[in-house]
Structure 1
Amino acid sequence: MKKILLPMILTVIGTASGIGAGIITARPAVEAVPTIIPPTHTYVPLDEPFVVPILRDEMTRAIVVAALGIEIDAAQASIVAPAMPKLRDQFLQVLYDHANTGGFDGLFTAPDVMRRLRDRLKSAAVETLGNGVHDILVTDLSRQEY
């Protein structure tokens, strides 16, 4: 009986340790790879920066240089280039109005000031390009004093 008991005990211990090792080192189930959905919006940078003079007492006291981009429906991105002259004209008018009302004075990069400027630029872009415009990106903004 002793001859049979020892091999059975060793078999049970070996089996239990094998199962335990398998549980501890088991790999997690392979997760399903998410389906990549193509973006519905795209970003179109406007090639040339906008230069806005800051006038005080009929003198240029500073200039503001702004680089802008447009977030637009991907299907409508191709309409930006042909509309660029009108778009630049409208954006410059918004930027000039912003400068003339003191928008580039003091903390001109404060979040509420920037949001108002973006909203006005977006309205101008929607007027030219249609409702596919989602946002205006200010990619660079600097002010140089004279």
Structure 2
Amino acid sequence: MKRLLPLIFLVLGLAAGVGGGLLFDPSPAGEKTNAAETGSGDAASREDAVTETAGSGQDHADDATGDPDGFEYLKFNKQFVVPLLKRGEVIGLAMVGLSLEAVPGLGERFHEIEPKLRDGFLQVLFDHANMGGFDGAFTESGKLNPLRGALLEVAQNALGVDRIRSVLIVDIARQARN
């Protein structure tokens, strides 16, 4: 009996884990299918289910959420960190959080080419910083709109012009070096 008890607990634990996983399955595909079948576009079926994963050790969680206009939002897992230089010295950092507004179903492709997108986005952000884009009142639309346009061009080149609607700047901060 002493040898069977750990085996019984293992089987019960496995069954409880599978049951809990099925019960609390956050699959957006099932929600979209149910909403499409019933024809109801209620607010509950469109709730954002973005899971923050920064620093949690997870690779990618549910970072694509539905939009009633037929788009989904793809969030980069980590912020972009851009050094701010003056006469060759780092005088601060700019941290930028970005998301893409894309056609539904692009999430898997997004994750496959995220390193390429990050590289292209970092180059645009470095160029923006080198032109003084993060100096002074860096959050003015006159400074952010050209940045959004350049980031959109990179995203559309990587994922398709008809697949990416816009690049959203969801977080931006500048930290001066002491």
Find the counterpart in structure 2 of residue 136 from structure 1.
Answer: 167
Answer 1 or 2: higher relative contact order, Cα 8 Å, separation at least 6: 1
Q: 1:125 aligns with which of 155, 169, 174?
A: 155
Q: Which has the larger radius of gyration?
A: 1
Cα distance in structure 1, aligned partners of 2:69 and 2:149:
23
Q: CA RMSD in A?
A: 1.6
- TM-score computed with the length of structure 2 as normaliser: 0.60
Runs of 4 or more, structure 1, over 2 Å off, are: 34-39, 75-78
Matched, 1:145 2:176: yes
Q: 1:103 aligns with which of 133, 136, 141?
A: 133
The within-5 A match list for 1:1-146 is 36=41, 39-131=69-161, 132-146=163-177
Provide the identity percentage.
35
Matched residues, number: 113
Unaligned regions of 5+ residues in structure 1, if any?
1-33
- TM-score computed with the length of structure 1 as normaliser: 0.73
Structure 1 residue 89: Cα displacement? 0.2
Cα distance in structure 2, aligned partners of 1:75 and 1:47:
18
Structure 1 residue 58: Cα displacement? 0.9
> Counting strand residues as a fraction of each chain, which structure ranks higher?
1
Cα distance in structure 1, aligned partners of 2:79 and 2:40:
38
Unaligned regions of 5+ residues in structure 2, if any?
1-38, 43-67
